[in-house]
Amino acid sequence: MKRSLILATLVSAAWLTSASAWAAPIIVGSGGLQPVTTTDESFGPHWNGNSWDSNTGPCHLASLAQGTVCDWVGASPIVLSQTTSNPLSYLGQPDGSAVDAFYFDEGAAYTYEVTLVGEFSILNGSNEFGWYDLDTGERHALFAPEQTFDSVTTVALPATFGFYYFNTDFGQTYYTDSSLNDGAFFSDEFGGTPGQQFAYMTDGDQFWLGLEDLFGTLATPTCIPGSCSDYDYNDVIVAWKPISKVPEPGTTALLGLGLLGFAWVVRGRHRQS
């Protein structure tokens, strides 16, 4: 009886420690989650631009996440493989402007499934997307320029992390924490300084990140205020979700103790028989 009690205690403690549930990501930065109330291409909120990529109507991140068809400038109509019918929220200021700097704090390390669900960009052959370490600044590529729609990868991320975009033609890198960016190219009437190249959206169960890869005068030298970008944030779209928690060293050790206790009880019973 005593041995059985020890076994139950050890195994239960290991299970309880390792089975803690995921929480929705905590976004560290100014602003907060705002409800998506319009997709009318009015440039407000900041991701709600009149996309140059489609002639069929809204083709920005929020409309695509909700199942809108994008014809990709006359090509075959496209709908994102991962869409939502649930209410959608975006990260921004109450007035609809972008949050300049943000990253993610999950409270623990997780393994994620990350999917390249969309890429509506003439620069698609030079788009690299990945995550970066907040402590070291080291970048880790998730999708290379040659990867296409519905490419999937799994990655173990630390508790805190951010995402980045690197354009191999321009040699420019942009981070969700835009204070790290190479320069501020969103300085026309719709942008901020430094400009935020990313838009984050969620329906509470799934998470999307959309990228705007037009860099003002860097990509369009003759642009005038209001024409430096279409602000649709659909040029690279990824979706991600946690699939397992990365065990902490203490949890692994506790689980090992539980298994040792189980082996000890089985061995004792074998001897008694």
Q: Helices marked H in the chain — which ranges?
A: 2-18, 61-65, 249-272
Q: List CB contacts of 147: < 8 A, sequence separation 6 or more.
A: 116
Q: How far, in Å, CA of 133 to CA of 150, rounded? A: 25
Q: Are residues 69 and 193 in the same domain?
A: yes
Question: Are 128 and 227 members of one domain?
Answer: yes
Is it the case that residue 115 has pLDDT exceeding 90?
A: yes
| Residues 164 and 64 grouped into a single domain | yes
Same domain, 234 and 268: no
**Residues 88, 142 within the same domain:** yes
* Residue indicated by tokens 């669900």: 117
| pTM score over 0.85 | no
The 3-state secondary structure of 211-257, one letter per residue: ECCCCHHHCCCCCCCCCCCCCCCCCEEEEEEEEEECCCHHHHHHHHH
CB-based contact 65:207 (threshold 8 Å): no
Residue 88 neighbours by CB under 8 Å, 6+ apart: 35, 36, 62, 65, 66, 201, 202, 203
- 173 and 258 belong to one structural domain: no
Same domain, 137 and 268: no
In tens, the pLDDT along 47-61 reads 998 888 898 889 999
pLDDT band of residue 249 (cuts 50, 70, 90) is low
Number of domains in the chain: 2
Please, what's the b/e burial string for 209-224 (b: 16 or more CB within 10 A of its CB; e: otherwise)? bbbbbbbbeebeeeee
Q: Which residue range is the domain that position 65 belongs to?
A: 26-245
Is the CB of residue 71 less than 8 Å from the CB of residue 77?
yes
Whether residue 160 is found in the same domain as residue 138: yes
Residue 257 and residue 179 share a domain:
no
* Per-residue pLDDT at 17 exceeds 50: no
Read off the pLDDT of residues 198-241 as tens digits, 9 standing for 90 and up: 999 999 888 999 998 876 555 566 666 556 778 899 999 999 98
Identify which has the larger pLDDT, 14 or 242. Answer: 242
Instruction: Please check the confidence at residue 253 and state whether its pLDDT lies above 70.
Output: no
pLDDT of 3 over the 90 cut: no
- Cβ proximity of 101 and 179 under 8 Å: yes
Question: Phi/psi at 258 (nearest 5 deg)?
Answer: -65, -40
Within this chain, do residues 139 and 265 fall inside the same structural domain, yes or no? no
At 167 the three-state DSSP class reads: strand
Please check the confidence at residue 263 and state whether its pLDDT lies above 50.
no
Tell me, yes or no, whether 198 and 258 share the same domain. no
Write the CB contacts of 206 (distance below 8 Å, at least 6 apart in sequence): 82, 84, 239, 241
pLDDT at residue 123, as a whole number? 83
